[in-house]
């Protein structure tokens, strides 16, 4: 029996296997509301056979969106549009569905990736950005306004309101986004946080706002439903946030009732050299798992069934999240199940293509 295809329980939610569809922004919403693109995209992924589908970074305010096309959960219209997508997926799929909630901080007001990824220029309807300190992400990016206590309270409340909307929509799991250089990671990293109040200075102070936000959301989220966090694992610089900090942050989240962490990295220091390669962030997940015993999810260039199985078998993580591989092949879990002599859910319409059919000649298209 493969570990990858063994179940994983998080509070009352049983995930049928340990493959997570990693959250992936689609940059295709209008005023934060999803549309037909999302029906197609999530409809396809809901048939993927993965154990958990995490919906893209969904922002808790219009100002907190990365781009004009990012999804949000800050209005009744946003909630109705998301309800349509969820309803569509659930007609044909029993797959557990989670959502990532975030705020882009100083990387808000950006161009979509296919428009260049820079900050929005005059004429492209840019909006003011906010952060822990008045340090721009990179040269040419806007200087963020520093959040005072009232502004921090209102952002925390926006996270809580989005949590309540997600609960009302029947979403199975929420994940707080505190990585990739977005708002909460700018509090964590000493490179982007130069505050002199109780939210800056020591690591304990820099973790304060993300932890307060987590605690407020956890209190608003139903007790039987799991809540996780995508954590910042490293700035990949000598002087920045590192894996020991990630371990301390995960332990503090665990004490507040966090059910799992996904360990990602980068995105704060624009000039950092990230050693991207197969499984390049697995070591960060492993350090967190070994130090805290938390349910830990590894992410980043995990592309093969044997690779994923080995990460679990070696005790380096409890779950793997795949992003680009799931876009490349939305039925990746079917091929992985066939390779590992296991099974995963197929809709009855597709049952004749199941793992047992292939007797070793898996049709990946690679050979
Ligand atoms: C199109 C795209 C959109 C992404 N959007 C998000 C997002 O909304 N939230 C997030 O935490 N990571 C996001 N990521 C990062 C992925 O979740 C993942 O961490 C990263 O791509 C590395 O994994 P991979 O090698 O399996 O692609 C995105 C990645 C891609 C390719």
The predicted-structure confidence for 110-144, as pLDDT tens digits, reads as follows: 999 999 999 999 999 999 999 999 999 999 999 99
What pLDDT was estimated at residue 327? 98
Å from CA of 358 to ligand 1 middle = 31
Pocket of ligand 1 (CB under 6 A): 22-25, 56-57, 100, 177, 180, 230, 264, 299-302, 322-325
What pLDDT was estimated at residue 78? 98
What is the position in ligand 1's atom list of the atom closest to the CA of 264? 19
What is the position in ligand 1's atom list of the atom closest to the CA of 179? 11
Active site residues: 182
What pLDDT was estimated at residue 361? 84
- The low-confidence residues of the chain, meaning pLDDT below 50, are none
Distance CA 362, CA 367 (A): 10
Å from CA of 206 to ligand 1 middle = 25
Mutate to test the pocket of ligand 1, among 19, 20, 21, 22 (most ligand atoms within 8 A of CB): 22
Å from CA of 300 to ligand 1 middle = 8
Q: Token pair of 15, please?
A: 């995930």
Supply the DSSP string of 59-90, one letter for each residue: ESSSTT-SBTT--B-SSHHHHHHHHHHHHHHH
Å from CA of 279 to ligand 1 middle = 14
Distance CA 240, CA 79 (A): 37
Q: Report pTM.
A: 0.98
The length of the chain, given as a count of residues = 367
Let me know the angle formed at the C-alpha of 146 by 144 and 150, rounded to the nearest 5 degrees. Answer: 135
Q: Take atom 18 of ligand 1 and give the residue whose Cα is closest.
A: 323
Å from CA of 187 to ligand 1 middle = 21
Determine the topology of domain 8-357 in CATH: TIM Barrel (3.20.20)
SS3 at position 334:
helix
What pLDDT was estimated at residue 360? 75
Whether 106 and 180 have beta carbons less than 8 Å apart is answered as no
* Extents of the domains making up the chain: 8-357
Q: Take atom 10 of ligand 1 and give the residue whose Cα is closest.
A: 23
What pLDDT was estimated at residue 61? 98
Alpha helices in the chain (DSSP H): 36-45, 76-92, 149-168, 183-188, 203-220, 243-255, 282-292, 305-313, 324-328, 332-339
Q: Take atom 29 of ligand 1 and give the residue whose Cα is closest.
A: 24
Cα-trace Rg, the chain: 20
What pLDDT was estimated at residue 358? 81
What is the position in ligand 1's atom list of the atom closest to the CA of 302? 26
Q: Take atom 22 of ligand 1 and give the residue whose Cα is closest.
A: 300
Mutate to test the pocket of ligand 1, among 19, 20, 21, 24 (most ligand atoms within 8 A of CB): 24
């Amino acid at each position: 029996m493969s570990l990858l295809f063994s179940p994983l329980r998080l509070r009352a939610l049983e995930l049928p296997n340990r493959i997570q569809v990693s959250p992936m922004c689609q940059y295709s919403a209008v005023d934060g509301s999803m549309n037909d693109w999302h029906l197609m995209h999530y409809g396809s992924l809901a048939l993927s056979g993965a154990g958990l589908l995490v919906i893209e970074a969904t922002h808790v305010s219009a100002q907190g969106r990365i781009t004009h096309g990012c999804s949000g959960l800050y209005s009744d219209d946003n909630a109705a549009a998301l309800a349509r997508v969820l309803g569509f997926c659930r007609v044909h799929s029993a797959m557990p569905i989670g959502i990532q909630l975030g705020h882009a901080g100083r990387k808000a007001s950006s161009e979509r990736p296919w428009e260049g990824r820079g900050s929005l220029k005059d004429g492209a309807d840019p909006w003011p950005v906010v952060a822990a300190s008045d340090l721009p992400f990179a040269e040419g990016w806007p200087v963020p306004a520093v959040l005072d206590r009232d502004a921090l309270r209102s952002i925390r409340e926006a996270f809580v309101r989005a949590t309540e909307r997600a609960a009302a929509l029947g979403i199975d799991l929420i994940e707080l986004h505190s990585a990739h250089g977005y708002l909460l990671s700018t509090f964590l990293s000493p490179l982007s946080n130069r505050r002199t109040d109780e939210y800056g200075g020591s690591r304990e102070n820099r973790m304060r706002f993300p932890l307060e936000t987590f605690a407020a959301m956890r209190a608003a989220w139903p007790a039987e439903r799991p809540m996780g966090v995508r954590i910042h694992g490293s700035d990949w610089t000598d002087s920045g946030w590192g894996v020991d900090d990630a371990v301390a942050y995960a332990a503090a989240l665990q004490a507040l009732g966090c059910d799992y962490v996904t360990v990602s990295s980068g995105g704060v220091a624009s000039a950092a050299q990230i050693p991207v390669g197969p499984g390049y962030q697995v070591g960060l997940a492993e350090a967190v798992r070994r130090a805290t015993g938390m349910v830990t999810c590894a992410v980043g260039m995990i592309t093969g069934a044997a690779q994923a199985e080995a990460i679990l078998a070696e005790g380096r993580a409890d779950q793997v999240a795949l992003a680009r591989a799931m876009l490349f092949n939305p039925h990746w879990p079917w091929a992985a199940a066939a390779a590992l002599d296991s099974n995963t859910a197929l809709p009855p319409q597709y049952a004749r293509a199941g793992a047992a059919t292939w007797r070793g000649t898996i049709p990946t298209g690679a050979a």
